Amino acid sequence: MGVLVKTTVNGDAVEFTCDEGEVLLDVLRNRLGLTGAKEGCGTGDCGACSVILDGRLVCSCLVLGAEMNGKKVETIEGMAEGQKLHPLQQAFIDHAALQCGVCTPGFLMAADALLRKNPDPTEEEIRFGLAGNLCRCTGYDKIVRAVQAAAKEMRGA
């Protein structure tokens, strides 16, 4: 009684069958083995399951797997190009912008989505751009600094 879905995940054509009520987060984690997106709340409040869907940042716990036909899904597993980390990923390591790291994939997705729209954000724009993602370890200071540094590098400034 499943739904057959043909979609693109991190540039790869992917086919899966899921239940009608199954959310994208469960599809990614349980059917496709992509456990980088985390379930922190299941209600869209924490952002730990953030992915980019057709260029738009979404909580994958609030989107149905069955809706993915013909869409493009980007997850944390597709952020690096081969061995080369995305500048945001490198900046998070270099600026100690993670402690436990469970929110990190969601933050990187959200920061990536932000910088695509706004390559030169102010501190306030970064803070509001990341306000849908909860981090309980860092107090956000080093996260904001990492995003500032990555944005600068990506602009070639």
Partner 1 sequence: MVTLNENNNPSEAAAPTTSEPHVNGTHNSDLVKRDFKVIGSRPRRPDGIDKVTGRARYGADFNFPGQLVGLVLRSPHAHAEIVKIDTSKAEKLPGVKAVITSADLPDHTGGDRNMFDILENCMARKKALYDGHAVAAVAAVDAATARKALKLIDVKYKLLPHVTDVDEALKPGAPLIHDNVFTEGVEPKPTKPSNWCKRAEYGHGDVDAGFRDADVVISRSYKTEQTHQGYIEPHSVSASVSPDGMAEMWMCTQGHFVFRNQCAQLLGMEASKLRTTSSEIGGGFGGKTHLWVEPLALALSRKANRPVKITMTREEVFRCTGPTSSASMDVKIGAKKDGTITAAFAELRFHGGAFPGMWAELGAMTAFACYDLKNVKTVSKDVIVNRPKTAAYRAPSSPIAAFAVESAVDELAKAIGMDPVDFRIKNAAKEGTKSSYGPVYGPIGIGPTLAAAKNHPHMKAPLGKNQGRGMACGFWFNFGGQTCVDVNVTPDGFVNVAQGTVDVGGSRASIAMAVAEELGLPYESVRSNVADTATLGHNDMTDGSRGTFSSSMAAIFATRNAIKVLRERAAKTWEIPVGEVEWKDGAAHAKGVHHGNRPPLTLKEIAAQAGNTGGPVAGHAEITADGAGVSFATHIADVETDPETGRSLVKRYTVIQDAGKALHPSYVEGQFQGGAAQGIGWALNEEYVYGKDGRLQNAGFLDYRIPVCSDLPMIDTQILEIPNPNHPYGVRGVGETSIVPPLAALGIAVTNATGVRQTHVPMSPPRVLKSIKSKAK
Where do contacts with partner 1 occur on this chain (CB under 8 A)? Answer: 29, 34-43, 45-46, 48, 75-77, 79-80, 85, 89-90, 92-96, 98-105, 108, 123-124, 126-128, 130-145
Q: Smaller CB distance to partner 1: residue 70 or 118? A: 118
Nearest to 50 by CA among 62, 42, 58: 58
Q: How many other C-beta atoms are found inside a 10 Å radius of the C-beta of residue 142?
A: 18
Complex with partner 1: residue 123 or 153, whichever CB lies closer: 123
Minimum CB distance to partner 1, residue 107 (Å):
9
CA distance 138 to 140: 5
Cα torsion angle, 36, 39, 42, 43, sign: negative
Distance CA 65, CA 3 (A): 9
Minimum distance from CB of 25 to partner 1 (Å)?
A: 11
Q: Which helix (H) or strand (E) holds 72?
A: strand 72-74
Smallest distance from partner 1 to CB 48, Å: 6
* 70/77 with CB nearer partner 1: 77
CB of 73 to partner 1, least distance (A): 13
Q: Measured from the CB atom, is 63 or 108 closer to partner 1?
A: 108
Q: Which residues contact 112 (CB under 8 A, 6 or more apart)?
A: 52, 79, 86, 88
